[in-house]
Amino acid sequence: MEAQYPSLVNYMETQTDITPDMRGILVNWLIEVHFKYELMPETLFLMVALFDRFLSVVKIAKSEIQLVGLTALLLASKYEDFWHPRIKELISVSAGSYTSAHMLGMEKLILEKLMFRLNIPTPYVFMLRFLKAAQSDRKLENLSFYLIELCLVKYEALSFKASLLAASAIYVARCTLHMTPASTPLLCKHAHYEESQLRACANMILKFQKVASTGPLMVTYEKYAHPEHSRVAEITPIEKLPQ
pLDDT digits (tens, 9 = 90+) for 167-181: 999 999 999 999 988
Give the CA-trace dihedral at 50, 53, 59, 63, to 10 degrees: 30
Q: How confident is the model at residue 20 (pLDDT cuts 50, 70, 90)?
A: very high
Angstrom distance (rounded) from CA 54 to CA 49: 8
Arithmetic mean of pLDDT, 26-42: 96
Write down the mean pLDDT value for the chain: 94
Give how far the C-alpha of residue 35 lies from the chain's centroid of Cα atoms, to the nearest Å: 13
Main-chain phi, psi angles of 225, to 5 degrees: -90, 0
Q: What is the pLDDT of residue 2?
A: 79
Claim: this prediction has a pTM higher than 0.85: yes
Angstrom distance (rounded) from CA 70 to CA 36: 13
What is residue 134's three-state secondary structure? coil
Q: What is the pLDDT of residue 1?
A: 67
- Write the class of the CATH domain 123-234: mainly alpha
What share of the chain has pLDDT > 90, as a percent? 86
* Chain region(s) in the chain for CATH 1.10.472.10: 12-113, 123-234
**Domain at 12-113: CATH code:** 1.10.472.10
- Of 57, 95, 91, 56, which Cα lies nearest the Cα of 71? 91
Instruction: State the CB neighbour count (10 A cutoff) for residue 242.
Output: 12
* 26 in Cβ contact with 66 (< 8 Å): yes
Instruction: State the CB neighbour count (10 A cutoff) for residue 207.
Output: 14
